[in-house]
Structures are given as structure tokens and as C-alpha cells.
Structure 1
């Protein structure tokens, strides 16, 4: 059974990507679920795939369900569509849109096809993670929620007295040793 390896890029930053493996007989619903899991997104919103070409133009649509909108061509349904049926090119590409209000967009590219299954690997699965995933409902920082709490507590967005822009308020001359003290009167 063929195993497909896809690289899933976050459209906003191609340094943020996940490599996922999936069997060619598994459905687009399985691909949908592993993409969301790999980026730590919930599974509560509408989603759709588009078969794409090398120029990332949208082709045939593969939706989670049939939505109330006008379709150029009747969409395929993720649950009923095996991935292998939509691979038309050795470098097949798909565009994945999740949460139509926020319009999260991921670019998916087939990067490898293998005939051998790894018995230790669960399919579908994530085999490589690069970059910090975007936060689905807000901003994420390397410091996590702790920094947000500090920022809110001390309101770091307001300028405080004594702090100005570079080059502001000085005559350009170096200060004397006497002037080099901190706010507690101690020499620096």
C-alpha cells in the first residue's frame, strides 16, 4: 500500500511547516484531521481542500460537507474521497482552507511516495515539525501566557516618564560620572 508524505506550509510563513504521512487509501477527512492536529487547531470549523497546480491556483474542491454556496463544479466530500484518487501529479499540491471566518490557509505539497509502510508509524501521522504554529484564536509568544499577563499588568504599551526615543532630550554630549546613577542614587 502506498504511503504519501505531504509537507503542509502555513501560507503566512513558509518556514512554519509540518510533514505528515498518510496512506493513499485514507480519506481527505483523515488528512484534514492530521493537519489540524499538527498545528494544534481544534476541529470545530468548516474546511475545504482545493486540488492545485504548480502556481497554487484553485482547482477541484473537496469539502468537509456541502456548504450553502455556489459551486463551479459539484464538490467532492472529504469523508468519501480517498486521497489517492486526487493525486494527478508526482508533485501534487492542495490548498487547504480552515475556518472560513479567519481563513486559515495552508499549502500542501506531495514530497514523497513510498511503497513500504513503517510498522511503527501510525497513519496518518506527523513526522516533522518546523517553526512555531500560529495560535488559532489569538497571538502566541515564545513566553506563552506569562508575557501577556505581565504586559497587561504593567501596560507596556504606554511610554513611561524618563523613557523616550533614541536621540531625544540630550545635547549629544556624554554624561559625567556624577550623572551616571540609577533611580536609587547608586552609581552605574
Structure 2
């Protein structure tokens, strides 16, 4: 079977690629197809994220094992596309280059029979030119005052001193002015 994806850059302008890839290929193969179709050099770290129907990010699947115990964490090459995506679970998020945060919405558009003689993965359609730089991401809460609003009287120095009145560190033999 062939999975046909629409891969959309998370930007104001419409920039997307349609990619056909075998259902038995790995997430790493899809990663390679995406960075090649958008013109990246492939030298940066990337991750996929599972998500729900409304694109809410869930579990990370990284390119490399970043866990505490080597081999314990599953990575892109461990997952076949058909393990994660099907006609009910069609969406996944892809982030390339964690400095610039190129973010892509990847959606399975169709599942079709493999065409004899075609080479996969294949970029089927390309729309829009990649900008020189990724758009700046806003990681603030929707209401920036939410934190301050939790406290009726606002925050002061006493609220921020987590060790004030706490003698628990004296048991460790640390001096307050050790340097």
C-alpha cells in the first residue's frame, strides 16, 4: 500500500508538499522524504509528535535515542508508518531543526495501491517557496496575566523566595556563602 501525505509548513503563506511513500516504510523514511522535498540539508535533529484530531501534540518520536537507558526509547526507525497512521489516525506533527523550529502538519490524505514501476518515496506536488527563516513562534499563554491572576494580591519578593523559612538545607552541611 502507498500512503499519500500532505505536508504543510506551519506558516501564514500556503506552503506544502504532497508525498507518496510505502506504508511499510519507517517514520525515518518519511523524515528523509520531508526534508528533501522542502530543500533542507538533513543535518538537523527532528522529531515527530503524535496528535489528536485537532492537532494537540501528544507523544514525541525522536530521530535519535535520547533516553537515560540506551535502547529503551523507540525512535523513528522503529516505527512503520502503518503502525501509527491509518484511516482513523491521519495526523502527525513534524518538527525539523529545534533552533529554528520548522513545524509541519502532516496528514494522511489517502491510501492507495502501489503503482508498478514507481519509485517511493516520491514528491507528487509542490506548492509555495520556503522562506529564508522560520516564522517566530509564540510560546506564551493565551492570557499572559493568567499566572499573576492566580494571586489576588499579586506577587512580591516573599512569594519568589522558595527557601525562606526553610531550614531543610542545613542538614546537608552547605554554608550559605560558600564561595
Q: Do the two structures share a fold, i.e. TM-score over 0.5?
A: yes
Q: TM-score, normalised by structure 2?
A: 0.67
Q: Calculate the aligned-residue CA RMSD, in Å.
A: 2.2
Structure 2 partner of 1:157: none
CA distance in structure 2 between the partners assigned to 1:111 and 1:132 by the alignment? 22
Structure 2 partner of 1:9: 8
Query: Gaps (5+ residues) in structure 1?
Result: 138-188
CA distance in structure 1 between the partners assigned to 2:12 and 2:37 by the alignment? 16
Deviation string 1:19-67 (CA, Å, 9 cap, x unpaired) is 0011110001100001001100011111000111221111222110123
Structure of larger gyration radius: 1
- Alpha-carbon contact 2:49-2:59 (below 8 Å) kept: yes
Query: Gaps (5+ residues) in structure 2?
Result: 135-179
Q: Alpha-carbon deviation of 1:68?
A: 6.3
Q: Alpha-carbon deviation of 1:89?
A: 4.3
CA distance in structure 1 between the partners assigned to 2:91 and 2:79 by the alignment? 16
Q: Alpha-carbon deviation of 1:80?
A: 1.6
Does 1:118 pair with 2:89? no
Change (3 A) 1:125 1:13: farther
Structure 1 partner of 2:125: 128
Does 1:48 pair with 2:65? no
Change (3 A) 1:84 1:136: farther
Structure 2 partner of 1:78: 76
- Alpha-carbon contact 2:67-2:73 (below 8 Å) kept: no
Secondary structure, counterpart of 1:13 in structure 2 = coil
* Runs of 4 or more consecutive aligned structure 1 residues displaced over 3 Å after TM superposition: 88-91
Number of aligned residues:
132
Change (3 A) 1:11 1:77: same
